[in-house]
Structures are given as structure tokens and as C-alpha cells.
Structure 1
Amino acid sequence: MSSGYVGDSPCSAVSTLQVLSGKWKWLILYHLFQHPSLRFSELMRSIPGITQRVLTKQLRELEDEGIVERTVYPEIPPRVEYAITPYGQSLRPILDLMHAWGIEHLRRKAEREEQGSPP
């Protein structure tokens, strides 16, 4: 009988969180879901506070997982664009749910603060 485990993880949500861990990955995905593709510089401008080094690292990790694809166009200077893969599109409902939950959480938090209750 199968234990329900995949690899060493007792919970498949852990696997999802490991793939998407990183301070900036959800913001990168958010912006890529808004556009068919974005250049590196466009992503940099869209995410204030992220460094070039960190954006490069996070994009490589998302690319390694098959969530983001990198396309290099043979132009001078070279043009590189990033886009969500069809597999990466499967994360859209998760991102939408997290967004909706975050809005509700912030609303509830603001209500508690208005009432003088601890956060």
C-alpha cells in the first residue's frame, strides 16, 4: 500500500512551496501573467527593490522548474524575453486564490485595528 508520500515530502504542498520559495518569485509570476512576455529590464522596472543578481537567480530557478521560458532573439544587441510556460500557467489559480486571500486578510486586519483589537 502506498504511503501517499512523493519523495521525502509527506505533503505535496511542501513541494509547491519549495519550488516557489523566494521573496520575489510570486511578484515575477504576477507580472509575467499580466503580459505575454517581458524583457529582463521590464521586469526589473516592474519590481522595485529587486536587484539584477536576484532577478537573474529567481528567473533561472523558475526556468529550471519549467515554469518560465527564456527566449533569446538573434539580434544585435541580443533581445531576451521571459514568458510563462503552459505548465507555469497551471499556477494561475493558486496565485489568484492567494491574491483573494491576501485582500480578505488585509481587510480583516484593518477592521481589527479600527476596533482596537490586537492584530
Structure 2
Amino acid sequence: MKAQEKKFPRKSPPERSARMVESIYGCKWSLTVYQLLACGINRPGEMVRQVEGLSTKVLNECLRRNMEFGILERVAYDESPPRVEYRVTPFGGKFVRVLDELEKLQQELERGDAPPG
């Protein structure tokens, strides 16, 4: 008897995107930064002033990580004094929507709306 031909390859998790999600959720400030940007607060100094407990050092690490993933971009203006702003990239917009869906899923789990399992 001839062995049945396999029709589906083994499915692997999305390695890079899963690592991104894990890294962003591991950074307790990234979601806050996205919230600030959504509210039009895009300058680092203003971000630090608006969020209790957020230091410039930690914010810079968070912003750098998000830029490395391509979620945020840095815009430097040729002015005196220098001005820097951050904004969500088109890819970052997609990524933030995925995080929003994960948050909705978490809320369903907390309310007990999700099926048991």
C-alpha cells in the first residue's frame, strides 16, 4: 500500500513577529508611548513630562527598540534649538492594530466571553 502523500507542511510560529510582540509587551513603556503618539504627543521631553515614572533614559531605550523593529521613526528638524519628534511608521500602524486586537482578546478572556479552554 502506497503511503499517503502529505498535503500540509508543518506550520511554524511567526518567529520575527512573535519576538516583536514579546519584546514590546516586555517593555512596560511601549504601549504608553503608542498612546502618547496617538494623542499627538510626539516629542520626547513632552512624553517624559506627561507620564509619571518615565525617565529620559528609559524612554530613549524604548524609542530605540521600536525604531529597530521599524514601528517608529525619528524625525529630526534642522532648527536651533534642535527638535526631534517620533511617529508611527506605516508598518508600525499595522503592528499597533495587532496589539489592539490582542488587548480586545484579553478583555474577552477577563469578562469570560471567550470559550473555555
Q: TM-score, normalised by structure 1?
A: 0.69
8 Å contact from structure 1 (residues 19, 65) kept in 2: no
Counterpart for residue 36 of structure 2? 31
Q: Which amino acid aligns with 1:82?
A: Y
Computing the radius of gyration over CA atoms, which structure comes out larger, 1 or 2? 2
Counterpart for residue 27 of structure 2? 22
Counterpart for residue 53 of structure 1? 57
Counterpart for residue 98 of structure 2? 94
Unaligned 5+ runs, structure 2 = 1-7, 112-117
Q: Which amino acid aligns with 1:14?
A: A
Counterpart for residue 64 of structure 1? 68
8 Å contact from structure 2 (residues 70, 92) kept in 1: yes
- C-alpha RMSD over aligned residues: 2.8
Shift of 1:78: 0.3
Deviations, residues 10-38 of structure 1 (Å, cap 9, x unaligned): xx763232341311111111211232x61
Relative to structure 1, the CA distance from residue 5 to residue 89 in structure 2 (aligned partners, 3 Å threshold; closer, same or farther) is same
- 3-state SS of paired residue (2:87): strand
